[in-house]
Amino acid sequence: MASTVSAVPAAPADPNALAPEVWPQGAARDAEGRLVVGGVDAVALAEQFGTPLYVVDEAVVRERAERFREAFDAAARRIGSQATVYYAGKAFLSTAIVRWVTEAGLGVDVCTGGELAVALAAGADPSRLGFHGNNKSVGEIARAVDAGVGALIIDSEIEIERVAEAAARAGRVQRVRLRVNSGVHASTHEFLATAHEDQKFGVPLSRAVELGARIREHDSLEFLGLHCHIGSQIFDAAGFAESAERLIAVHAELDRVAPVPELNLGGGFGIAYTEADRPAPIERIADGIADAVAAACEAHGVRVPRLAFEPGRSIVGPAGVTLYTVGTVKPVPTDDGWRHYVSVDGGMSDNVRTALYGAAYTVRLASRRSDAPAALVRVAGKHCESGDIVVDADWLPHDVGPGDLVAVAATGAYCWSLASNYNHVPRPPVVAVRDGQARVIVRGETEADLLARDAGIDASDGIEGTPA
């Protein structure tokens, strides 16, 4: 995992500065010093929608989706092939997002019936959807087949029969990919390559030829090719290249029996959460992967297949910021001096990544600029848990205080999608900003929403068992 909390960042020259690699493209401060995203200022957003608030810059999502499609397509064309890019919906899925990415020419990768429902509700072309999951239910498989999804990704031997039966029942020929475990595991600066990777996804590469043949025995299945996903928050092409080389050796064996049209190398492209994160530009990564694919195909005497990718975080992550209101500020003595705990009105229920992965984030004052010197802060949430940290270590102007708005950068991916109702905190709304306009794309929850699902409450007379 990149951007882990192990390092305290150096004090910034200016704690008001908005590093362009971390904040949504175009984010700036207005004349009053307020943070402006998508042409809308943070104070106006907080007044209209309250805090905590997820803000997503629509133009940035659309631009990134287009940029990724173009980068992979250009790299693939250079080696005589084509590329398909699927947006990995697990990063953040709503019907608005599906429309933005599909209008940019991307397909969508879903991995549950719920994600499928959102993509279909948005009007996505089912033939441009991929359906993943290591334990799809029989019902989910049937729904995906009936909906006409472009490909189901078979994740285990057992699923071959399940998908074949569902397709036969529906009178369809279902396109499938076979997810393999390439033995490559990558994150940020390095990748690990072993004979086997000890995790739940995919089938061992050593069984791919046999299982590919099994898929081909079914008239109701059409084998598209191999799939693998090697990790998350990866900053360069090396791990993808290693994995592609391993896969192409097996792909070539399968291709000798009958043409294998495609190779899907998954997602995992990294973003900058802090200034310390330096992901290579996607064009360079795409070129590095394409070169490795071309060389491996030549070595194995096989045509270059169509390439497919599934970026999630890298499409939506940099487009999002979360706004919070500061409630309390507390200096706490530490072994090295003082740490300022800045407590905000959200926390691990809207961003669990810090608690779950030790992820690092960047925080800035959003409602004003300040000339006060920088102080080392830890942004904590409001939950009853000491691990409820949003930003483990960053710097804010020393005069940060109650009522200030703060913004946390790069929260567009895996924050809303991993949100919870811990401590019965309603999940915040998501607001899209564009050209100075803001609109809700996911309504926030209310306490009434939470109570509505409590079966102990009788709508007519209040809480069950409570005397009227």
**Residue 58 assigned to a binding site:** no
Residue from 251, 313, 368, 427 touching ligand LLP (CB under 6 A): that is: 313
What binding mask, one character per residue, do residues 268-297 give for ligand LLP by CB under 6 A, x or -?
Answer: xx----------------------------
Decide whether 49 or 235 has the Cβ nearer to ligand LLP: 235
Residue from 133, 266, 305, 381 touching ligand LLP (CB under 6 A): that is: 266
Q: Is 87 in the site for ligand LLP (CB under 6 A)?
A: no
**Residue 422 assigned to a binding site:** no
Decide whether 15 or 288 has the Cβ nearer to ligand LLP: 288
Rounded distance, CA 54 to CA 415, Å?
A: 9
Q: What's the full length of the chain, in residues? A: 468
**Residue 414 assigned to a binding site:** yes
Rounded distance, CA 231 to CA 246, Å?
A: 16
Name residues contacting ligand LLP, limited to 119-138 (CB under 6 A). 132
Rounded distance, CA 95 to CA 442, Å?
A: 9
| CB 130 to ligand LLP: min, Å | 9
Decide whether 54 or 269 has the Cβ nearer to ligand LLP: 269
Q: Which residue has the tokens 């899907």?
A: 264
**Residue 77 assigned to a binding site:** no
Do 317 and 413 contact (CB within 8 A), yes or no? yes
Q: Is 264 in the site for ligand LLP (CB under 6 A)?
A: no
Decide whether 252 or 419 has the Cβ nearer to ligand LLP: 419
Decide whether 310 or 404 has the Cβ nearer to ligand LLP: 310
* Token digits of residue 311: 């970026």
Q: Is 412 in the site for ligand LLP (CB under 6 A)?
A: no
Rounded distance, CA 75 to CA 184, Å?
A: 22
**Residue 353 assigned to a binding site:** yes
**Residue 15 assigned to a binding site:** no
Name residues contacting ligand LLP, limited to 347-386 (CB under 6 A). 353, 357
Residue from 239, 267, 305, 428 touching ligand LLP (CB under 6 A): that is: 267
* Token digits of residue 246: 């391993």
Q: Is 229 in the site for ligand LLP (CB under 6 A)?
A: yes
Work out the burial of residue 31: count CB atoms within 10 Å of its CB; fewer than 13 is exposed, 13-18 middle, 19 or more buried. exposed
Rounded distance, CA 164 to CA 235, Å?
A: 38
Question: Looking at 111, 228, 297, 384, which residue is catalytic?
Answer: 384
Helix (H, G, I), strand (E, B) or coil at 147: helix
Q: Amino acid identity, residue 244?
A: A
Helices (H) and strands (E) in the chain, counts: 12, 26
Work out the burial of residue 327: count CB atoms within 10 Å of its CB; fewer than 13 is exposed, 13-18 middle, 19 or more buried. middle
Query: Which of 80, 32, 26 minimizes the C-alpha distance to 57?
Result: 26
Does the annotation count 228 as an active-site position? no
Q: Is 184 in the site for ligand LLP (CB under 6 A)?
A: no
* Token digits of residue 256: 């000798």
Name residues contacting ligand LLP, limited to 95-124 (CB under 6 A). 109
Instruction: Give the catalytic positions in this structure.
Output: 384
Where along the sequence are the contacts to ligand LLP (CB under 6 A)?
88, 90-91, 109, 132, 229, 232, 266-269, 310-314, 353, 357, 414
